[in-house]
Structure 1
Amino acid sequence: MNKFQLEQTKAFKLANDLKQGGRARAGAADAPKTDRREQRKLDQAKGLVPFACKLDEKLVKQLKDRAEAHEGGMTEVLAELLVKAGLER
């Protein structure tokens, strides 16, 4: 592997970490590793269902900022906001 390939591999790893969000960058070594299939099963056991929608980019930025500061991440931030809006869990 030459120097270019090594640097390219490091760049791909960094890009992947950034796609995974704040948890992948901070404390990833401490977190237990679960693959996507296992995570899907855990989420289903908790009664979680994937839900996608399109939002204004300013709103998404605000949500991401809140999620970075929140221990539960984006899922918990959205759940709390929906409960405050009058929806029940």
Structure 2
Amino acid sequence: MKKTDLDKQQALKLMGKLNAAIPPSRYAGAAPAVDRREQRRLDQAAGLVSFPVKLHQPLIAALQAKAQADGVSVSELVNTLLADALKD
């Protein structure tokens, strides 16, 4: 392997490590991060299932505003609203 190829490989390794690093706590809302596997395990234990849905931007903004005003997460708010709507 040529020296330039070796340098490129080392640079790629370094960039991969930098991209995988946890962001500094100076960013707003930074909390101790739970890795994806652990978060998935916690969600499954709570009975949560991922269900992606495409919504229009004004509706998303309204949901985020209501969730923030109520002091709950958007997921909890959507869960409550859907459960109430399906009671009929």
TM-score between the two structures when normalised by the length of structure 2:
0.58
Aligned counterpart, 1:64: 64
Following superposition, the deviation at residue 50 of structure 1 comes to 0.4
Residues 72 and 37 from structure 1, CA distance in 2 versus in 1: closer, same or farther, beyond 3 angstroms?
Answer: farther
Aligned counterpart, 1:75: 75
**Structure of larger gyration radius:** 2
Which residues in structure 2 correspond to 1:17-32 (within 5 Å)? 25=29, 28=30
Counterpart Cα distance in 2 of 1:37 and 1:78: 24
Residues 71 and 37 from structure 1, CA distance in 2 versus in 1: closer, same or farther, beyond 3 angstroms?
Answer: farther
Following superposition, the deviation at residue 80 of structure 1 comes to 0.7
Aligned counterpart, 2:41: 41
The unaligned stretches of length 5 or more in structure 1 are 1-12, 18-23
Aligned counterpart, 1:51: 51
Aligned length: 64
Percent of residue pairs bearing the same amino acid type: 44
Following superposition, the deviation at residue 58 of structure 1 comes to 0.7
Following superposition, the deviation at residue 86 of structure 1 comes to 1.9
Counterpart Cα distance in 2 of 1:34 and 1:69: 26
